[in-house]
Amino acid sequence: MSASPRALARAAAGSALAAALVLGSAAVASAHVRVVPEATAAGGWTVLTFRVPNESPTSATTRVTVDLPTETPLTSVSTQPVPGWTATVERGDLPEPVEVDGATITQAPLSVTWTADGAGIGDGEFQQFAISVGPLPAAGTDLVLPAHQEYADGEVVDWDQVAEGDAEPEHPAPTFTTTEAASGGHGAAAPDDQTSDDASDDPAAAGDAAGDASADGSGGLPVVLGGLGLAAGVGALVVALLAWRRSAAR
């Protein structure tokens, strides 16, 4: 017995709603402050790009602060200029002295703050903030970089929760894990390597870097889920229309 046109329409609407929910869930899951490392090799230098989306429909993001690790300090930190923003690196005493490359370190960069000189990050917008850091600690080290997002209306969102198990917390801290050094014992190029500087000044290279969200899982999963949901909705609609046409012909 063939289904009635009304039943087919309800089925198609249900599939479309399911697809919309998948797309919406993917978008929400990706709306976090995240870090995308250019390289992760122990002992090397890298560029860390923090992607900051504005999540308030009524207020702009005007300040972003990232806390740097103190148990495995990054002794070299420099900022990349961002038009409309002022960056400040705060240095200070470590809670305890730390051995880095055979030297005892008692002070290190503790945080980086970007402050908007103008309107900041508006509704439906995001901004990227990059720092060059090094040397990275031993392979297998989880570098947790809590971020604090301040809005013009005074609200502060702390992205500082560390995941336990497979479930992602509500406000996960930007995190990445260091890997083994490349053959030869060296990681990424040192800060004075012109290759990285040239790439950061090249709009095409910047675009390529923006597409590498999958390096920390910030872009690949939402895109895949969204594509699957959309395909399911379209497929259900096509099947419903074909069945309705056959029923009408009878």
Q: What is the pLDDT of residues 155-164, one digit of tens each?
A: 999 999 998 8
Domain boundaries, the chain: 1-32+218-250, 33-206
pTM here is 0.66
User: Rounded distance, CA 42 to CA 178, Å?
Assistant: 6
Q: Indicate the pLDDT class of residue 187, thresholds 50, 70 and 90.
A: low
Residues 6+ apart with CB under 8 A from 89: 77, 78, 79, 109, 111, 112
Half-sphere exposure of 43 toward its Cβ, with a 13 Å CA cutoff? 10
What is the predicted pLDDT for the residue at 10? Answer: 57
33-206: CATH, from 2.60.40.2230, 1.10.3720.10, 1.10.260.40, 3.40.50.10860: 2.60.40.2230
Q: Indicate the pLDDT class of residue 4, thresholds 50, 70 and 90.
A: low
